[in-house]
């Protein structure tokens, strides 16, 4: 094994063996391994690992939808890694999302939103239902607002 490959392997092994004290913290919410791993009154359980582009994309989409997440890094939390292996049949496939009884492996954002609406509607903010019923004449998004401002300025 070359020196470069060996150092990458050692860094990866060190990350996987970091002690996390079986605990995850997210914006003041702390869950321990003693709590049931299938439900959380604080948010959707989101299992991820550092450097995963699919995890990053799903997390960004769920935050855009304002869905609260309780995140578990499977490289830092052995209990979370075991939970993911039990859901996926032995693999550490991430992102893995748990919403009540629904266990989703690498789901698209809309599938997670449907699961939240079905199994944990209390996690949705009142503005989520208002956002889905936007009138077609209302301008949405910063780019659309900018475009409407520019077209309004040029038409005068």
Q: Return the pLDDT at 3.
A: 52
The residue range of the domain holding 30 is 3-128
With respect to residue 46, please indicate whether it lies within any of the assigned structural domains: yes
Q: How many CB atoms are closer than 10 A to CB 26?
A: 16
E-only strand ranges, 9-101: 23-26, 29-32, 44-48, 69-73, 96-99
pTM to 2 decimals?
Answer: 0.60
With respect to residue 86, please indicate whether it lies within any of the assigned structural domains: yes
Query: Tens digit of pLDDT per residue, the chain (156 long)?
Result: 555 544 444 444 344 443 333 344 443 344 444 444 555 667 899 999 999 999 999 999 999 999 999 999 999 999 999 999 999 999 999 999 999 999 999 999 999 999 999 998 888 876 544 454 444 455 567 777 777 778 776 554
**Which among 73, 69, 79 has a CA at the least distance from the CA of 27?**
69
With respect to residue 150, please indicate whether it lies within any of the assigned structural domains: no
With respect to residue 145, please indicate whether it lies within any of the assigned structural domains: no
With respect to residue 65, please indicate whether it lies within any of the assigned structural domains: yes
Q: How many domains does the chain have?
A: 1
CATH code for the domain of 52:
3.40.30.10
Whether the CB-CB separation of 45 and 100 falls below 8 Å is answered with no
Residue 50 exposure: Cα atoms within 13 Å on the Cβ side: 7
With respect to residue 140, please indicate whether it lies within any of the assigned structural domains: no
With respect to residue 110, please indicate whether it lies within any of the assigned structural domains: yes
């Amino acid at each position: 094994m070359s020196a470069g490959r060996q150092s990458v392997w050692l860094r990866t092994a060190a990350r996987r063996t970091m002690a996390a004290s079986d605990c995850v913290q997210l914006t003041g919410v702390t869950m321990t391994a003693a709590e049931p791993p299938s439900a959380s009154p604080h948010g959707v359980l989101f299992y991820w690992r550092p450097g995963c582009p699919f995890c990053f994309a799903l997390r960004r989409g769920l935050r855009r939808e304002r869905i609260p997440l309780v995140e578990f890094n499977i490289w830092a939390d052995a209990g979370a890694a075991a939970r993911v292996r039990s859901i996926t049949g032995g693999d550490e496939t991430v992102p893995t999302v748990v919403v009540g009884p629904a266990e989703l492996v690498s789901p698209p954002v809309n599938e997670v939103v449907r699961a939240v609406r079905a199994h944990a509607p209390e996690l949705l903010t009142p503005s989520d239902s208002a956002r889905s019923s936007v009138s077609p004449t209302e301008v949405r998004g910063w780019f659309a607002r900018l475009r409407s401002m520019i077209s309004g300025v040029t038409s005068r």
